[in-house]
Amino acid sequence: MAYWQGYLPFAASGLLLFSMASWVGAEGEGRTVRDRAMYLKHDGGTYTHYLELRADGSYRRVARGPQYSEERDRGTWQQTSSRNLLLRSDAHLRNISAGDLFISMRQPERLKTLPDLKQRIQAFLKAHRSQEFPAEDIERIRETTVGSDPPLKISDITVLGSKWVQRSDVEKLVIEIDRFLASSEKNLFTLVPVEYKTAIIYVDDDRAELTKKIIADELAGSSALSSFSADRHGYQEIGEAQFLKETSNSQAVSLSREASESHK
């Protein structure tokens, strides 16, 4: 199983205004363009992601590892009245989630496999009447072989932070697959603000509940959910000077190359 790393994964002024208007319908809230740039950093340990949210409504994402620093996403962004960050990617599709279940849409070709995956999930539910299942059983509903040396199998479905999966979450995942396929907003990502210690971290909406559980776990002095602190699951705001210093050597990367490397 490949653990999801929280990827997030240009517009002329006229197109930008059109996009802003369309988001009002998508979220049902008023929008306000920020009057300043905003810089966010997600430290995942072996990798680091940065978001540059520009005052003109455009953004770019930079990924940095031990041997690379690359721009891997771009698009337009907005902030809602509830402080959610909406990112409309020019390059990637958003992910599908239900409870602790997660389907990464990082690879565009997975879109074509969703109907088959949905059928396999329904067949699994029909064959198994339990109200909860071991996480590994759900992750084996469909496995994809990735070309590498040696070949690697990854799960189409990932279970986040739990050893057991509720039947209701599996049933909801089928509904979410249908909703995703019918959506015209497949490239719209949402980052949710979550209070952590004395700061605000921005977490992908499909991981917000897990992050809140991790925070509660930390406050209780337990490490049952994660060996990482909650800030490893979200973005924190940093200054422009720090952003420029840490991303100064970044280069754009082709989508085909990125899709290949994301399996490694």
Q: Dump pLDDT digits (tens) for 195-231.
A: 888 889 999 887 788 788 888 888 877 655 555 566 6
Tally of CB atoms within 10 A around 202: 21
Q: Is the pLDDT assigned to residue 244 strictly greater than 80?
A: yes
- Distance between alpha carbon 233 and the CA centroid of its chain, in Å? 10
Whether the Cβ atoms of residue 78 and residue 84 lie closer than 8 Å to each other: no
Query: Which one has a higher pLDDT value, 165 or 263?
Result: 165
Angle between helices 167-182 and 110-127 (to 10 degrees): 150
pLDDT per residue over 152-202, tens digit each?
Answer: 777 899 998 789 999 999 999 999 999 999 999 999 999 999 988 888 999
**Which pLDDT band, with edges at 50, 70 and 90, does 22 fall under?**
very low
Confidence of residue 258 (pLDDT cuts 50, 70, 90): very low
Domain ranges of the chain: 13-93+185-261, 96-182
Calculate ∠ Cα 102-103-108, nearest 5°.
155
HEC readout, 192-234 = EEEEECCEEEEEEHHHHHHHHHHHHHHHCCCCCCCCCCHHHHC
| pLDDT, tens digit (0-9, with 9 covering 90-100), for 42-82 | 987 788 999 999 999 999 999 988 888 889 899 999 999 99
pTM for this predicted structure: 0.69
